[in-house]
């Protein structure tokens, strides 16, 4: 993926009223959905420049480089956008095999069974060992 010399490509996207787009991180190879986060223009431009997933944290109101605390970086392999130009799809390699702050491979580990949400994927590493703050 070559670095863009201008930002015209960013302006073609249909940003929401807050200047954000949802971004789905999908594991290259398995196509498993790892997480959904949000990106603003700066996050998306930096993702392209640095070749790693960088999101906008709505709760902290700041850029969030995936893996900056945990070491579980999402290395960028490809970016796509949907037909309405309002959802980003990142194809990534997930360092450490953990994408979720709960220590699981994917943030989508809860499954609806008998009208209850059950954890169906194992914890790969105790979050207390990942986040030592």
The predicted-structure confidence for 5-32, as pLDDT tens digits, reads as follows 588 999 999 999 999 999 999 999 999 9
For the chain, which domains are there? 8-96 (3.10.20.810)
Count the alpha carbons within 13 Å of 29 in the hemisphere toward its beta carbon.
Answer: 5
Q: Is the pLDDT score of 55 beyond 90?
A: yes
Confidence of residue 133 (pLDDT cuts 50, 70, 90): low
Confidence of residue 4 (pLDDT cuts 50, 70, 90): very low
* pLDDT, position 6: 81
Residue 101 or 1, more confident? 101
Please give the mean pLDDT across all residues of the chain: 94
CA distances from 53 to 38, 95, 101 (A): 11, 11, 15
Q: What pTM does this model have?
A: 0.90
Structure letter (DSSP) for residue 114: T
């Amino acid at each position: 993926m070559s670095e863009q010399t201008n930002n015209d490509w960013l302006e073609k996207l249909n940003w929401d009223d807050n200047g954000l787009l949802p971004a789905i991180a999908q594991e290259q190879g398995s196509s498993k959905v790892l997480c959904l986060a949000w990106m603003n223009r700066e996050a998306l431009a930096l993702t392209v420049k640095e070749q790693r997933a960088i999101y906008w944290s709505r709760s902290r109101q700041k850029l969030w480089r995936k893996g900056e605390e945990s070491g579980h970086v999402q290395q960028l392999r490809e970016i796509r956008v949907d037909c309405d130009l309002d959802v980003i799809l990142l194809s990534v390699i997930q360092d450490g095999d953990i994408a979720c702050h709960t220590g699981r491979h994917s943030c989508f580990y809860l499954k609806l069974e008998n009208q209850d949400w059950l954890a169906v994927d194992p914890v790969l590493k105790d979050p207390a060992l990942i986040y030592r703050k």
